[in-house]
Amino acid sequence: MPETEDASGSFEPIPLQTRIFVPPAAPYQPHCWVETIVGRIIAPLISKYSISEFWFSRYGQDKNGSSQDTDLTKIPSHFESSGSWRSVRFRLWLSPHHQQAFESDLFDRVKDANCAIADLRVYDPFSDLAKTSLCGGEFSDARRHQRKDIVRDFLCATSRLFIHMLEGPNHLGEFELEKNPDRANCPDEATFQYVHHLFCNLTEVPLSVSVPVPGIGTSMYPAPSSTGIVSVRVRF
């Protein structure tokens, strides 16, 4: 992708992406494997290269899903567990002047963490962040370019908050999100519970769960045989 020079004479950041795969082994336990990847690999890189725009997301996918934007043949076969590969997609906007050093650093950190990646490639934020699922209404290029930037900023802010909540590593090399015993975050003591409340309060996002009719049960009193499914709105 060619470098693009802006009005000030400097070069615009290039959107890049990679997928960081983890083995089915410690310290990548089910409750903290993403936190540990972010704490050991992503957060240090963000800080070292002063990356201002980035985001990451978690996936547990089969072979077809995991091969969508990576060369799975470059990922060790023992990373597969029960037909699934766990990975974190990492998207970032990086100055072209830092790309060579960043890529070398990324591969070294991934290797040191006993993880794996196939490559670092160009990312297309317009196709990803302004697709139909993220942009309703008028689907013009002009409006999609606006939406792309807004969604990117939203995902970046969420990722920054995630990093700010990280604690670790502990004696096992694991990172976890902070515990927050405030009553608004009980019983799970997760600060993101109240962040989720604020998001739902602000947006009134429709969210429902499917409940079997005539009802749910407990281990002592199991639910009667279901005669159907009803949708029940969740309140936040």
Q: Tens digits of per-residue pLDDT, 152-195? A: 999 999 999 999 999 999 999 999 999 999 999 988 999 999 99
- In a domain, residue 5? The reply is no
Q: Tens digits of per-residue pLDDT, 73-85? A: 999 999 999 999 9
Range of the domain at 218: 209-236
In this structure, is the dihedral angle defined by the CA atoms of residues 17, 87, 200 and 160, taken in order, positive or negative? negative
Q: Are residues 152 and 121 in the same domain?
A: yes
Q: Which residues contact 79 (CB under 8 A, 6 or more apart)?
A: 21, 22, 23, 24, 85, 86, 116
Q: Are residues 122 and 235 in the same domain?
A: no
Q: Tens digits of per-residue pLDDT, 121-157? A: 999 999 999 999 999 999 999 999 999 999 999 999 9
Q: Are residues 46 and 62 in the same domain?
A: yes
pTM above 0.85, yes or no: yes
- In a domain, residue 1? The reply is no
Q: Are residues 55 and 85 in the same domain?
A: yes
Average pLDDT of every residue of the chain = 92
pLDDT at residue number 214: 76
Strand stretches in 62-145, DSSP E:
85-94, 121-122
Q: How many separate domains does the chain show?
A: 3
Q: Are residues 164 and 213 in the same domain?
A: no
